[in-house]
Chains A and B, each alone.
Chain A
Amino acid sequence: MSNAAVTAATSSRATAAGKSALARLGEAFVSRLVILIPYLWLVFFFLIPFVIVFKISLSQTAIAIPPYTPVLGFGDGLAGFFAQLNELSIDNYIWLTQDALYVNAYVTSVIVAAISTVLTLLVGYPIAYGMARAPAMLRPTLLMLVILPFWTSFLIRVYAWIGILKPEGLLNQLLLATGIIGQPLVILNTYTAIFIGIVYSYLPFMVLPLYSALEKMDYSLIEAAKDLGCPPTSAFWKITFPLSLPGVIAGCLLVFIPAVGEFVIPDLLGGSQTLMIGKTLWNEFFANRDWPVSSAVAVILLLLLIVPIMLFQRAQARAQEQDR
């Protein structure tokens, strides 16, 4: 068969199916667009910025605008690129490991975040459990009540605690008036205030995943355990807690990861005596105007958090699979 015949046959089939082929082409184009638009946006505004942070963390501080020496551009052609490659330095990272301030700030931040996460779990679990056992009619309202504070400004909620925790604040007034304490407690500007602030601000993040895990639970399992003579406490540890574990993990990661880099809470409630890495980064950037060092601080913070963040992403993906 000649080529012309093949072409003719194909083209006649194409005409018959013309409309649907065109429609299919359009469909493919639309679905490609649906993926590409958010994809490219996130690559440009989320992924590339990290590359830039890493790049600048290898540069030197300079009195200029922007305040760092230029690194790795193709502005001077390929030769310029290789010349600049030699100027890259890990001085900022060496500086971070040698100054005890930074090491301390990282260690303290991780410890503070870990303690706060455990405290949030201890406060949040009974609330989530109570909500999950509430009459079905009440549950949407309770859920709404947990979410509502989350809609009010984070800054405002942290600010509200200053008035409560101050030496002459409302908590001390109450405790002094009732005679529980003889002299005002010093809470503001200590780590205790940071713990309170984190537990308070992040509580909804803990309660919501816990609630959704506990609500799905089949309570006849507990009944069965009880019937078989299992005491309530061990029924809790052997049945309820393991079944709520996905919620516990999701909630803990949702609190822990942002808490490590938290700025507002340590700044407003922790005062100048407390040390946390988010505050260090902020001061390095805004007070010292040292962009390269603050970039290096950010890179190391990100490395610290990369494992928890990946765990979080995997937990989310798994939850999504289960919901299907």
Chain B
Amino acid sequence: MNATWSRFNITSIVLGFAFLYLPIVLLVVFSFNESKLVTVWGGFSTKWYVSLFHNQGLMDATWVTARVAVISATVATVLGTLAALTLTRYTRFKGRTLFSGMVFAPLVMPEVITGLSLLLLFVAVGLDRGFLTVTLAHITLTMCFVAVVVQSRLITFDRSLEEAAMDLGAPPVKTFFQITLPVIMPAIVSGWMLAFTLSLDDLVIASFTSGPGATTLPMKIYSQVRLGVTPEINAACTILIAVVAVGVIIASLANKRREFQRQRDEQAAQRG
């Protein structure tokens, strides 16, 4: 009975996924449109991709965005993992409620508030707006997402593994790096990727906290979208989608392989 998948269930899934994917598919299709009008098909062409690579402003923005995303995702992953450990391992310390509030609130906080408050902080401490401030802002936002992802893995973690290691004389720090870290690694990797794409994606917080010379790609796309929809933006968006999709697929395949390997090892261990 549990496996009954009624026609209604299938229909709602198919319609739901059509709704989720159709706009993206159309966007990709029209990036190959010969015509300058985004909504009228004028034949296949890759000319918008060519013109994209001659658009120096867009290329500069891409380079800035990529650097911000890599740096902020990496720092955010370290901080987010520490925050996740704090949330799951230390259930009693002063100010724990405040801490979990500060981890969960940024997930839902409207971006205009986060952006404005960070900007005012940077002005108050006299930090010039630019590359550094955008990166700091993105670390703060994305570390909370990393914390949630890693935390959900830590909760289901079998702590007897750690206890066994410590009973055998391994000091806690060594236990963490040799036992805990490898087990939660997939969650840390997906946390990093989530942080990376969130940073790549962010318009509002970047607009508040960035300054001259640190225009990010979403800011560039946004300013062009306001002037009108062009196939060139469609082409830029398509490349971004492709990069992220390839990354996600590679990561999930790697994950699956590791999982498969682990299962085989477990089976081998049981047999042996």
Contacts and interface: CB of A to CB of B under 8 A. Distances in A.
B204 A264 contact: yes
Contact of A160 (B5, B23, B120, B155): B23
B245 interface: yes
Interface stretch (B46-54, B102-110, B181-189, B262-270): B102-110
Contacts of A23: 171
A35 B93 contact: yes
Interface in A261-308: 261-264, 268, 278, 281-282, 285-286, 291, 294-295, 298, 301-302, 305, 308
Given A39-B86, A163-B26, A263-B112, A155 B201 contact: yes
Contacts of A45: 118, 121, 136-137, 139-140
Interface in B78-115: 79-80, 82-83, 85-90, 93, 95, 99-113
Given A34-B85, A39-B95, A134-B5, A127 B118 contact: no
A262 B113 CA distance: 10
Given A157-B24, A163-B30, A130 B218 contact: no
Nearest to A56: B120
B117 interface: yes
A301 B110 contact: yes
Chain A residues touching B, majority SS: helix
Contacts of B200: 153
Nearest to B240: A153
Contacts of A131: 13
Nearest to B156: A323
A133 B39 contact: no
A257 interface: yes
A261 B240 contact: no
Interface stretch (A8-16, A75-83, A96-104, A313-321): A313-321
Interface stretch (A85-93, A166-174, A175-183, A237-245): A166-174
Q: Which of A134, A156, A168 has the most CB atoms of chain B within a 10 A radius of its CB?
A: A156
A200 B112 contact: no
Contact of A123 (B4, B19, B171, B207): B19
| Chain A: number of interface residues, binned into ranges | 35 or more
B195 to A, nearest CB: 12
Nearest to A109: B110
B227 interface: no
A121 interface: no
Contacts of A294: 116
A1 B93 CA distance: 39
A225 interface: no
Contacts of B20: 145-146, 149, 200, 203-204
B3 A135 contact: yes
A64 B208 CA distance: 18
Contacts, number: 261
A46 B102 contact: yes
B226 to A, nearest CB: 8
Contacts of A152: 24, 240-241, 244-245
A263 B204 contact: yes
Nearest to A299: B113
A38 B84 CA distance: 9
A142 interface: yes
Contacts of B194: 151
Contacts of A285: 116, 208
A52 B112 contact: no
A241 to B, nearest CB: 16
A62 interface: no
B110 A261 contact: yes
B203 A155 contact: yes
A170 B200 CA distance: 28
A261 B1 contact: no
A35 B201 contact: no
Contacts of B171: 23, 27
Given A126-B16, A151-B244, A159-B225, A220 B1 contact: yes
Nearest to B244: A151
A278 B139 CA distance: 22
Interface in A105-149: 123-124, 126-127, 129-131, 133-136, 142, 144-146, 148-149
B168 interface: no
Interface in A14-49: 23, 26-27, 30-31, 34-35, 37-39, 41-43, 45-49
Given A126-B8, A323-B152, 14 more contacts: A30-B172, A34-B86, A42-B83, A42-B99, A43-B102, A49-B121, A66-B123, A151-B193, A151-B194, A153-B201, A200-B23, A261-B109, A281-B113, A320-B88
22 contacts: A27-B172, A27-B173, A30-B172, A126-B9, A130-B13, A130-B16, A149-B24, A151-B244, A152-B24, A153-B244, A155-B201, A156-B221, A159-B27, A160-B26, A162-B229, A257-B110, A258-B108, A258-B111, A263-B204, A278-B111, A298-B113, A302-B113
Counting from the closest, the 8 A-B pairs by CB-CB distance are: A261-B110, A49-B117, A126-B12, A127-B16, A130-B9, A38-B83, A160-B23, A257-B108
